[in-house]
Amino acid sequence: MTRKLLPMITASLLLGTGILASVPASAAENPFFQPSKLPYQMPPFDRITDADYAPAFAEGMRRERAEVRAIADNPAAASFDNTVVALERSGRLLSRVSNVFFNLTGANTSDAKEALARDLAPKLAAHHDAIMLDAKLFGRIDALYRQRDHLNLDAESKRLLERTHTDFVRAGARLSAADKKQLKAYNAELATLSNAFSQNLLKETQASAVVVDSREELAGLPENEIAGAAEAARATNTRGLEGKYLLPLMNTTGQPQEAMLSNRALRKRLYEASIMRGNRGGEFDNRAVVLKLTTLRAERARLLGYPSHAAYVLEDETAQTTTAVNQLLARLTPPAVANARKEAAAIQEVIDAEKGGFQVAAYDWAYYTEKVRKLRHNFDEAQLRPYFELNNVLRNGVFYAAGKLYGISFVERHDLPVYQPDVRVFEVFDAAGKPLALFLADFYARPNKRGGAWMNAYVEQSGLLDTKPVVANHLNIPKPPAGEPTLLTFDEVTTMFHEFGHALHGMFSAVRYPRFSGTSVPRDFVEYPSQVNEMWAVWPEVLKNYARHYQTGAAMPPELLDKVTAARKFNQGFATTEYLAAALLDQRWHQLSPEQAPGDALAFEAEALKQAGVDFAPVPPRYRSTYFSHIFANGYSAGYYAYIWSEVLDADTVEWFKEHGGLLRANGDKFRQQILSRGGSADAMMLYRAFRGRAPDIEPLLERRGLTGGTR
């Protein structure tokens, strides 16, 4: 298939829900019904209204079902072209509306989109099942699969046949009729629950923003952030917030303001508002959703022949087994927690020296870590921010590194419509000046945007369909008041480089079939190219090019550059432990059998962290279960380990770049040709071994994270 197949739903069904109360009078008025006439088939955001989505879904699903029915009922003998390639070509309208709708429900949602998403969730699952469980269609695919070595297919075509067959089998194509009926029920309910989790979290995160009464309580925050907090309070249009300040929450457990606020009581309020999301009772409580999701996933996995949901997921990843993932996490956990405890002791020394009279708590960590950093390395994060102005980081850092490595260039376009005024559009050109892609940059946080950072594609590259990519990066950087510069933390700089690594994966795609386009690779491989791209954020030539004072243009002093580099392993105990705690929690939830399903989400979480050896109160999980959207709403279930799994490949690849001269065009071209351009058109680890010349080595990762002691 060309994408995750989406469920059938008819206009009559939608009319029955009231969702089609206001629709365009004719198909000609609906911007989705025909391919966009804009460059690169970029969506015509200026023409799209919330009323356009439902009829486009209805017609898109109707068309795809008709296309699939024609393939299944074709009286001619099954061939690769009339079956597998025909499936790749099907569902174009559905893809167009889906790519825009589901991207914007994360990036720029509305009440109407959320209502439609709730209604569509089970029906989308039903449409997917109607195709993947079609016995006649699978019969054609299975017949071709059994002849695959005798069809004279090229390597990418043969892989497409094999992957299509695998997709159908894993979706339940070989189940009995009764089991297929049960599977459809599971899938519909799981889709509804995942959507509920996401919407609950978005609404509670909005409602949990912390109100601050006085400017004095914000001591330690930079002036532009204080002004931003005042503007956020004014923008709520809520009575009683006049003259006050509002601190919106980010999606992680720790909040960025905790590193700067000297007011311990306010740090505690921020932390408690964060960790209580989804588990305080009321209409947005996610505890029951988590329990039901994990139970149903376990039951569905058993129906499909697997002992757990994790076993089902991992079979199709590069890790392949729960044992492999458990072994990696178990190897990393003890030294990470040991390092975190050492870091906590260093923090406690500072607290005691200041006669604080308290033991370090989770909401103290970031604040006192900056003090320890200053003592050990004679600098703090506040010194860096004036040198990290957003536009300079983007153009003279992210784009500069990509230009040096790959020869590409960027031209900002102001003639193309966007869905929100802050979104920027860049046309990307290859080294020879040939148009390559469009890149959308959506960097600022806003109330109707989900937390975190991510990349998505509005149009995927495909030789078969003759399409070039339109990709977007999304961050959640607090927007300063008008006229003020956007000064980034070093974490935000790194995130910008990371997400652009995903964008490069999408933009450099050079595959024939849309099934393999861009980031259509295993979850535990998809983070690999993006993590590699982080290395250029601190590469001396790149860092010197963008780290310039926003007022004077002066380069960051060499001694400060040296301190940034020297401090890279600083606080890695905390960073690794909070991540591992979340990854381990994900595995504990998803390695359960149906009989092991717990009755209390928070009690299970506490016991799981204790058993895994990561129940260290000053370092809570990066996400607690009730706001862990990666695994309960965004497709990373049993897959959050992927970041550290990919980092093994990443750290080893960074060593390769260093061994071969670093920021050189020849190195970039090799990485592009052998990894970035291939998408999912070949086995991921085969691509890696061909690039690296051997299997990955874990030692560079251990060294990077300061985990070499006691791990061998």
Q: What is the pLDDT of residues 416-430, one digit of tens each?
A: 999 999 999 999 999
Mean pLDDT of the chain: 93
Tokens of 514: 């849309």
pLDDT of 27: 64
- DSSP for residue 556: P
Q: How far apart are CA 528 and CA 550, in angstroms?
A: 32
For 655, other C-beta atoms within 10 Å of its C-beta total 16
- DSSP for residue 487: B
**Amino acid occupying residue 340:** A
- DSSP for residue 218: G
Q: How far apart are CA 248 and CA 274, in angstroms?
A: 10
Q: How far apart are CA 88 and CA 349, in angstroms?
A: 62
3-state secondary structure of 441: strand
Residues 6 or more apart in contact with residue 208 via CB below 8 angstroms: 249, 273, 274, 276, 277
CATH topology of 11-174 equal to that of 386-569? yes
List the CATH code of the domain at 11-174: 1.10.1370.40
The three-point CA angle 598-628-252 to 5° equals 140
User: What's the 3-state SS for 505-535?
Assistant: HHHCCCCCCHHHCCCCCCHHHHHHHHHHHHH
**Amino acid occupying residue 131:** I
Question: What percent of the chain has a predicted confidence (pLDDT) above 90?
Answer: 85
pLDDT of 635: 86
Comparing 634 with 516, the larger pLDDT belongs to: 516
Residues 6 or more apart in contact with residue 1 via CB below 8 angstroms: 87, 88, 91, 131, 164, 167, 515
Plot region of 685 (φ>0 → left; ψ -120 to 50 → alpha; else → beta)? alpha
**pLDDT tens digits for range 286-315:** 999 999 999 999 999 999 999 999 999 999
pLDDT of 1: 35
pLDDT of 706: 87
Instruction: Kindly tell me if the per-residue pLDDT of 5 is higher than 60.
Output: no
Q: How far apart are CA 113 and CA 518, in angstroms?
A: 27
Q: Where are the domains of the chain?
A: 11-174, 208-275, 386-569
**Mean pLDDT of the region 518-523:** 96
pLDDT of 8: 28
**pLDDT tens digits for range 684-699:** 999 999 999 999 999 9
Locus of tokens 């339109």:
470
Q: DSSP string of 678-711?
A: TTTSS-HHHHHHHHHSS---SHHHHHHTT--TTT
Locus of tokens 């381990």:
584
**Under 8 Å between Cβ of 696 and 648:** yes
Kindly report the backbone phi and psi dihedral angles of residue 246, in degrees, each rounded to the nearest multiple of 5, phi listed first: -125, 130
Angle between helices 523-533 and 490-507 (to 10 degrees): 120
Q: How far apart are CA 597 and CA 100, in angstroms?
A: 36
pLDDT of 378: 81
Locus of tokens 């194509």:
173
**Under 8 Å between Cβ of 229 and 218:** yes
Residues 6 or more apart in contact with residue 209 via CB below 8 angstroms: 232, 246, 247, 248, 249, 273
**Mean pLDDT of the region 66-90:** 98
26 — pLDDT class (breaks 50, 70, 90): low
Q: How far apart are CA 4 and CA 6, in angstroms?
A: 6
Is the pTM above the cut of 0.75?
Answer: yes
**The architecture CATH gives domain 386-569:** Orthogonal Bundle (1.10)
**pLDDT tens digits for range 569-612:** 789 999 999 999 999 999 999 999 999 999 999 999 999 999 99
Of the candidates 570, 499, 482, the one whose C-alpha atom is nearest the C-alpha of residue 234 is: 482
Instruction: Kindly tell me if the per-residue pLDDT of 285 is higher than 60.
Output: yes
Of the candidates 287, 199, 248, 293, the one whose C-alpha atom is nearest the C-alpha of residue 626 is: 287
Whole-number Cα distances in Å, 564 to 380, 477, 496 = 9, 21, 17
Which H helix or E strand runs over 581? helix 572-590
Kindly report the backbone phi and psi dihedral angles of residue 530, in degrees, each rounded to the nearest multiple of 5, phi listed first: -70, -40
Angle between helices 177-207 and 287-303 (to 10 degrees): 160
Comparing 21 with 139, the larger pLDDT belongs to: 139
Q: How far apart are CA 680 and CA 666, in angstroms?
A: 23
3-state secondary structure of 448: coil
pLDDT of 10: 29
Tokens of 668: 């970039």
pLDDT of 9: 29
Instruction: Kindly tell me if the per-residue pLDDT of 2 is higher than 60.
Output: no
For 8, other C-beta atoms within 10 Å of its C-beta total 23
Of the candidates 463, 473, 472, 454, the one whose C-alpha atom is nearest the C-alpha of residue 509 is: 463
- Residues taking part in catalysis: 499
The gap between the terminal CA atoms of the chain, to the nearest Å, is 44
pLDDT of 709: 59
Plot region of 36 (φ>0 → left; ψ -120 to 50 → alpha; else → beta)? beta
**pLDDT tens digits for range 447-472:** 899 888 999 999 999 999 999 999 99
Whole-number Cα distances in Å, 474 to 43, 98, 101, 422, 427 = 17, 18, 15, 11, 17
Instruction: Kindly tell me if the per-residue pLDDT of 375 is higher than 90.
Output: no
pLDDT of 599: 96
**Mean pLDDT of the region 41-59:** 97
380 — pLDDT class (breaks 50, 70, 90): confident
Tokens of 491: 């974490």
374 — pLDDT class (breaks 50, 70, 90): confident
pLDDT of 379: 77
Compute, in degrees rounded to 10, the torsion defined by CA atoms 485, 486, 490, 496: -140
Q: DSSP string of 30-82?
A: -TTSS---SGGG---TTT--HHHHHHHHHHHHHHHHHHHHHHHT-SSPP-III
710 — pLDDT class (breaks 50, 70, 90): very low
Q: How far apart are CA 123 and CA 127, in angstroms?
A: 6
Least confident of 13-17, 42-46, 176-180, 229-233: 13-17
- DSSP for residue 467: B
pLDDT of 452: 87
Instruction: Kindly tell me if the per-residue pLDDT of 11 is higher than 80.
Output: no
**How many CA within 13 A on the CB side of residue 207?**
14
Residues 6 or more apart in contact with residue 152 via CB below 8 angstroms: none
Comparing 43 with 705, the larger pLDDT belongs to: 43
Locus of tokens 């020296």:
353
* Residues 131-155: b if buried by 16+ CB within 10 A, e if exposed: bbbbeebbebbbebbeeeeeeebee
Of the candidates 473, 579, 497, 524, the one whose C-alpha atom is nearest the C-alpha of residue 252 is: 579
